[in-house]
Structure 1
Amino acid sequence: MFLRNIQLEREKIESFGSYPFSIPVIKDLDEIEITAPVTFFIGENGTGKSTLLEAIADKCEFNTAGGGRNNVYEVDASASALGDYIRLSWLPKVTNGFFLRAESFYHFATHIDQIGGAHAYGGRSLHHQSHGESFLSLFLHRFRGKAIYLLDEPEAALSPNRQFTFLRIIHDLTRKEDCQFIIATHSPILLGYPDAEILSFDDGEIRSVNYEETDHYRVTKYFLEHREKFLEDLFAEEE
């Protein structure tokens, strides 16, 4: 584990009335202790988890449109508004790693083609693979030891079976190659990774929760066990 602490430099902020400082969890943030090699950020859309993950990537000098330190290309609106206002504490400091934005992965794949880098991803252009295959090619061929990986909704392109494959990749990289992961996700499968820390951004604060406490687990479990009643109640609300 490398990244140990994230602090908001509140003294630098002139006003908490504008984005991203108006987001409740950012407005009330002092610091976050990172206590596990695999940490998940969870919460409803708009709660600030992706904003904070992007700021960490910016502070690591990764391309905030997706990529590592050496992936230089431009995508509109990829600049972090929060990166200049956080401080990261490391033990030890690492510079290797990658920031995955599922929503802008297409641009990263184009960048790899433009620099002739397909050979590093299994020998095939990421554009010539399915969305899920291209994600797994990234995880299998680009991710290596002594690095930190910041992933924003990596499940977006992965089927349930491929998510289990990804869990094995995380396991191998953390146990055998000394990697650290911080992952923003909505996936109840990924959240089941053993001994991970889950930080919830819901209810205006960042707090550690158990897997069974998450809506991802509870809602999915209830749906699978009571599918017909769940859907009956859901559709009745529209009538």
Structure 2
Amino acid sequence: MYRIGIGLALLLCACAPQPNRKTETKVVLNDEIALQKPELAAGLSINEALADRRSWREYGREALTLEELSGVMWAAGGVNRADGHLTAPSALGLYPITVYAFFPEGVYRYDAAAGRLVRVAEGDHRRLTAMQEFAYAAPLNLVYIADLGKYEGRDIPAEHVRYLCGQDAAGYAENVNLYTAGHGLRSITRGSADEAELLELLQLDPARYFFALAQTVGKAPAQAQNE
């Protein structure tokens, strides 16, 4: 009877519906990358993410999955309300920051309203985003470009406008830092890049746009993952 009971229990377990196992999707780098909506219940708690947050300088070359990339971009400055406002705060609600994603295969502009990345340049331009070697190996570098035109017609001193833009970019970047800490990824916020060549590549007028911040995002090197 005991053996029969064990056998029946195993049979029932085998026949019972199994929970859906999520399949991670690779990023297909076309002219546009359609991003996924984030799972709001995923990841560590905010306190756990804060406890784990740190700046990393060691990265593997493994690409982010579509799920991971979608989460990173949404955290940076994705739409989180029906009125179009974003995950990151903005002084005066002007949102002067545009996020660019630099991959080994090309450069993309983040269109938060449409939930997509739009290619603006082909090829590997990661060396324009940093002056540290580790950034050139990481699969993703984000660049935050500020648009001074958002403040036209407002009585704000020019030097204070640049301060406000930097403040906004810092909010985007720290959102990413917390997201990566809460989802097993790595990141670091950086202030150095080749601004002149960046703006030339992106075909942006330096009289109106400027480089505010950059950020490296990726995963642990393979050896570190196996330890």
Same fold at TM > 0.5: no
Please state which band the TM-score falls in when normalised by the shorter chain: under 0.3
Compare CA radii of gyration and give the structure with the larger one.
2
